[in-house]
Amino acid sequence: MILIALAIVFTQLSLLAFGGGNAILPEIQHQVVEVHHWLTATEFSTMFAMAQAAPGPNMMIVPLVGWHVAGPAGLLVTSFAQFGPSSVITVFALKFWNQFKDHPLRERFEKALKPITVGLVLVSAWIIADASAQNSLLIAIIAIATVMSLFKKIHPLWVMLFGATAGACFL
């Protein structure tokens, strides 16, 4: 039964993944933490950090959730459910979209989608930061990492190394 629930949740999320995986991160968190209670907010935040630190696609949190909830079978079910439907739709949509490559409305449509995607990604960042900010030190690490990333243009690997070192030394 749990595998069916995982398949339904992540298939629906796959079909909503407009603007990339991080754009649906708030809904993933909502479903996994608040609706199904498969993870706590802190566990979700930790898994997201681990998934972002790993090489590969930025949505590695999906297989991690599946593994946590139902072991190897959960990993497979969530992976296929999350990446399968949207991949199939993308192949067909791309063929359709390319037919209108010179149409003036296409450019307007693409421009209108950019701020929506940015807003969805910002909400994702807020949810992860909120779940991670459990004490003053963690809030400081979040703030410093944000400043390092926004204003200093430091490579994300160095920012993550800073956060991990600060956490290991002071927590």
What residues does each domain of the chain span?
2-101
Output the tens digit of pLDDT for each of the chain's 171 residues.
999 999 999 999 998 876 677 778 888 999 999 999 999 988 998 898 888 878 777 789 999 999 999 999 999 999 999 999 988 988 998 888 888 888 888 888 888 888 888 888 888 888 888 888 888 988 898 899 889 988 887 888 898 889 889 988 887
- The upper half-sphere exposure of residue 66, i.e. CA atoms within 13 Å in the direction of its Cβ, equals 25
Query: What's the pLDDT score for residue 19?
Result: 65
Stated pTM of the model = 0.74
Distance between terminal CA atoms of the chain? 39
Residue 78 token pair: 């969530």
45 with 132: CB under 8 angstroms?
A: yes
Report residue 59 as tokens.
């949505």
Pick from 58, 82, 85: nearest CA to 10? 82
Angle among Cα 50, 165, 44 to the nearest 5 degrees reads 25
At 133 the pLDDT is: 83
